[in-house]
Structure formats: C-alpha cells, structure tokens
Structure 1
C-alpha cells in the first residue's frame, strides 16, 4: 500500500470516539480560518492540518478531499443558522422582536466569527460544490418556512400587515440580510467596529419592518 493511500485510511486506534469529534471540529474550525485567509482555491490540505495542529493524514481520515471539507464547513454553518431560526420561531416575543432577533444572531456571529461569515458569503458563490451541502433547496425552504412562520404569528396578532404574503416577506427578509452582510464582507458597507456593525443591523431591521408593520 502506497504512502498516499495510507494517509487516507483511519489511523491506528481511530475507534476511540471520545476524541474524534473534538479533532474533527478542530479541523473544521481551522479550515474556516484558512479558507478565509487564502481562499478555497489558494489553500491546501497541508495548510489546514498545520492550522489545526494535527497530522496531515488525519485530515483525510475525516474528509476525503478539500471539496468535502468545504462542504462540511457549509453544512455545519447552515445547521447552526437553521437551529437558531427554529429557536427564535418557537420563542417568546412579538414578530418584530423575532425578526430583530434573526438579524441580531447573524450580526453577532459576524462580530465573533467574521472568518466563518466571510467563507460562507464568498466561497459559496465561487464553489459550486458548496451548493451540495447546506445551500440546497431543502435548506432554503426550511429557512424561509421558519421566517414565514414568524410573519404569520405577527399577522395573527395584528402586528404585521395581513395582506403580506408570508413567503414573499420571509424571502425578502433573508435576502436583505444576506446582501447587508455581503456588503460588510466585501467592504462596501462600513463594519470595522462593533458600533458600525450595530448601526448597520439597526438600520436593516428598521427597513425590513417598515413595510411589514400593520
């Protein structure tokens, strides 16, 4: 068996599940940093292994190649976002509070993990493989459905316009959110400090609610 093939097989003692999730997570987090710094096409698996402080072959134990590593990054981040939407949808508060909470969650992630947001915004548009894991029709439908449910709750309580189509409203909210964050990522919208990020968030939330409030 060649050294190349050996590097892709499970390392000795790989059955120890106690440590595997932590190592896999460390590799994913390192991949986010490396992808953000070098770009997907500019980085190598060796760069990710070095950033994660793990052996080169261990990356191949968890991921077949760089494509699968990027897909896993997308899938993990989308899962976090969907779970946050579900929690906001099921929580207490007015529809306006919940819509503000959706924006607040994403903008807080931008503050604490800008590299992850940068990878999601820039690499998903450049890498078709990313659309297979996370940015699928099913995922978009789930996100839109959760936000639409928030809109329906607001309509039922008389907080939001009854004539607004919940699906259209949800797509508009998520679309505005994506474009606002994209503007910050590429430097079009000033967001170098927490104060600037909060100012953008408050403006976007206000604009999103202007057309929806009853």
Structure 2
C-alpha cells in the first residue's frame, strides 16, 4: 500500500506552489467520495486519483499511502468542526441558541456533504488511522471544553440548570449529536429529504435543551 519516495515519477514535484494546495484539496475531496462509496478497505489509491482527475503518482506526492490519506481526511474534518465550535462559543445568543447552532452546523454538513459524514461515522470506528488523526483525546477534550463553556455561560446567566456538571452535559450533547447523525447515516433515522433532516435536528435539540433548562 505504501510507496517509497524515490519511486515517485519524475517531474511530480514541479507544480507551481499556488496550484499545490488546490490539487491536494481535490485529492482529499475525491478520497472522501471514494471512501464513502467503496469503503476505506475496498478502494485503492488509483480509484482516488481517477476520482480527483489527477495522475496516479501525484497522490503519492502529497500522501505516502492510503493510511496517511485517510488520516488527513479525518484531520481536516475535525479541524473544521473545532473551528465551528469555537465560532459558536464566541458568538452571540443564549446557551440554547448556541447548542442549536452546534446541531445546525453538523446537520447542514450532512445535507451538503453526506459522503464526508458517512466516512467520518463509519470509518473512524474501523480504522486505527481515524483514531490517530483528529479523533485524538486532545481533540475530543478541546471539543468538550468548548461545549462545556457554552453550558457554563448558560448556567451563569440562569438559562440552564445550575446543578448540571458542564463537562458531563457537554459529553451528553456531543454524544447525542453523534448518535443522531449515525442514525441518519445507517438509515435508522429518516433523512432522505432536507425536511426530514431538519425535523430530526430540531427534535434532537429540543430533547437536549429541555433536559438542561433551568
């Protein structure tokens, strides 16, 4: 599966610096589509290159092997999620508004990029690479910290129950979010239309917020 650096085709590193990030991004996005369609273990680097519309050898210019490609897919998605949590935490609104915003962000990603969500949900539990890249203890701790901060703000303003432990509440919110999306990915929660996705999101938010309200 891996390929030694010295075997890269000649001229592979001659792309202009401005074009490199775009090509790398195209490969990552193609990998998401291929992983979602064929599964991580069922696809090859050649499948990713074909989907990205690039030469087979160019994939190896950016990624040593399929494992590293998957790691980067996870890392990119987790970075986007943490950035979204930080923006919601720093933004205006009540604690309930911010919790709803967290769910809205994830459910909107499911609407616009279901393949990415499918890969994250299904492959992270099957591959050690997923646990190394992004789904680390440090990343989860950061997500937990941000959501716990939202809960603390709500408690300080009297919007949420003062007796609830913020960290446990944050873990419950994130766990409920993951399971709700997992239910949609595997077909247990209706999500074939935007209306069904919105309905699932609103019900999930209502269940979480009702349990935390003062």
Whether contact under 8 Å (2:89, 2:98) holds in the other structure is yes
Rounded to whole Å, the distance in 1 between the matches of 2:13 and 2:84 is 37
1:187, distance to aligned residue in structure 2 (A): 0.4
What is residue 143 of structure 1 aligned with on the other side? 143
Q: Are 1:10 and 1:61, in contact at CA under 8 Å, matched by a contact in 2?
A: no
Separation in structure 2 between the aligned mates of residue 8 and residue 212 of structure 1, nearest angstrom: 58
TM-score by length of 2: 0.96
User: What is the rounded CA distance, in whole Å, between the counterparts of 1:150 and 1:9 in structure 2?
Assistant: 52
Offset of residue 11 of structure 1: 1.3
Contact 2:107 2:197 (C-alpha < 8 Å) held by counterparts? yes
Q: Tell me the secondary structure at the aligned position of residue 126 of structure 1.
A: coil
The aligned counterpart of 1:156 is 156
Judged with a 3 Å threshold, the aligned counterparts in structure 2 of structure 1 residues 208 and 23 are, in CA distance, closer, same or farther, namely same
Q: Distance in 1 between matches of 2:75 and 2:111?
A: 21
- 1:156 deviates by 0.6
Query: Distance in 1 between the 2:4 and 2:162 partners?
Result: 65
Q: 1:185 to 1:8 in 2, by over 3 A?
A: farther
1:98 aligned partner: 98
1:4–1:17 distance in 2 versus 1, CA, 3 Å: closer
Aligned-partner Cα distance in 2 for 1:152–1:3:
50
SS in 2 for 1:93: coil
1:118 paired with 2:118, answer: yes
How many residue pairs end up in the alignment? Answer: 212
State the partner residue of 1:76: 76
2:8 aligned partner: 7
In the aligned structure 1, how far is the partner of 2:43 from the partner of 2:27?
A: 14
Structural RMSD (CA): 1.6
Moved more, 5-14 or 114-123: 5-14
Aligned structure 1 segments of 4 or more residues deviating by more than 2 angstroms: 2-10
Contact 1:8–1:64 (Cα < 8 Å) also in 2: no
User: Partner of 2:172 in structure 1?
Assistant: 172
Shift of 1:34: 0.1
User: Aligned partners of 1:3, 1:174: CA distance in 2, in Å?
Assistant: 40
Instruction: Flag structure 2 segments of 5+ consecutive residues without an equivalent.
Output: none
The residue that corresponds to 1:200 in the other structure is 200
Report the TM-score, using the length of structure 1 for normalisation: 0.96
Distance 1:10 1:98 in 2: 49
